[in-house]
């Protein structure tokens, strides 16, 4: 019997998957626990519509992410801070600082968790910072740290 899963079922499939199971398993376990429904033409059409709308939504999000990445690639941030004689900063520049400056200067809101910094910036100079805009889209922003 073909059924459409309403929830993830261990060792069977994920939500909205169409799977073949024995009649007894479907009637005695899946249907009473509302884990699945019988795969009718109407239900299959409903699932296909859901999948196509989800694909369209993802495609739009990807396009928006690419546009945002293009804007971010052209941004250069200048940070003036106190530093010692040898170029070491008194303190450090963190992902939060960079996100705040992008929001303040360019009106683009970036989540600080999406900014890739292995360690906080602790020296003067130009640093190239990666920002993960979307799973496949990465932007690079130049951050110039100069002495105050």
- What pLDDT digit, counting tens, does each position of 87-104 carry? 888 888 999 999 999 999
- What pLDDT digit, counting tens, does each position of 73-86 carry? 988 999 998 888 88
**Rounded mean pLDDT of the chain?**
91
What HEC string does the chain produce? CEEEECCCECCCECCCCEEECCHHHHHHHHCCCCCEEECCHHHHHHHHHHHHHHHHHHHHHHHHHHHHHHHHHCCEEEEEECECCCCEEEEEECHHHHHHHHHHHHCCCCCHHHEECCCCEEECEEEEEEEEEECCEEEEEEEEEEEC
Share of the chain above pLDDT 70, in %: 100
How far apart, in whole angstroms, are the C-alpha atoms of residue 70 and residue 92?
Answer: 27
Q: Identify the pLDDT of residue 144.
A: 92
How far apart, in whole angstroms, are the C-alpha atoms of residue 117 and residue 132?
Answer: 11
Q: Identify the pLDDT of residue 67.
A: 93
Mean predicted confidence (pLDDT) in 56-74: 92
**Sequence spans of domains, the chain:** 2-61, 65-147
How far apart, in whole angstroms, are the C-alpha atoms of residue 119 and residue 25?
Answer: 54
Instruction: Please give the CATH topology (third level) of the domain spanning 65-147.
Output: Ribosomal Protein L9; domain 2 (3.10.430)
CATH 3.40.5.10 fits 2-61, yes or no: yes
Give the pTM. 0.69
Q: Does the structure show a pLDDT above 90 at 35?
A: yes
């Amino acid at each position: 019997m073909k059924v459409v899963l309403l929830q993830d079922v261990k060792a069977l499939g994920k939500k909205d998957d169409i799977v073949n199971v024995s009649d007894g398993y479907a009637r005695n376990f899946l249907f009473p626990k509302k884990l699945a429904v019988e795969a009718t033409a109407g239900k299959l059409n409903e699932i296909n519509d859901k999948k196509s709308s989800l694909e369209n939504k993802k495609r739009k999000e990807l396009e928006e992410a690419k546009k945002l990445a293009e804007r971010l690639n052209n941004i250069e941030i200048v940070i003036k801070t106190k530093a010692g004689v040898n170029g070491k900063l008194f303190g450090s520049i963190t992902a939060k600082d960079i996100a705040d400056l992008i929001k303040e200067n360019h009106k683009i809101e970036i989540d600080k968790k999406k900014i890739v910094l292995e360690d906080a910036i602790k020296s003067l100079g130009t640093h190239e910072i990666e920002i993960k805009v979307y799973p496949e889209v990465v932007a690079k922003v130049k951050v110039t740290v100069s002495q105050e």
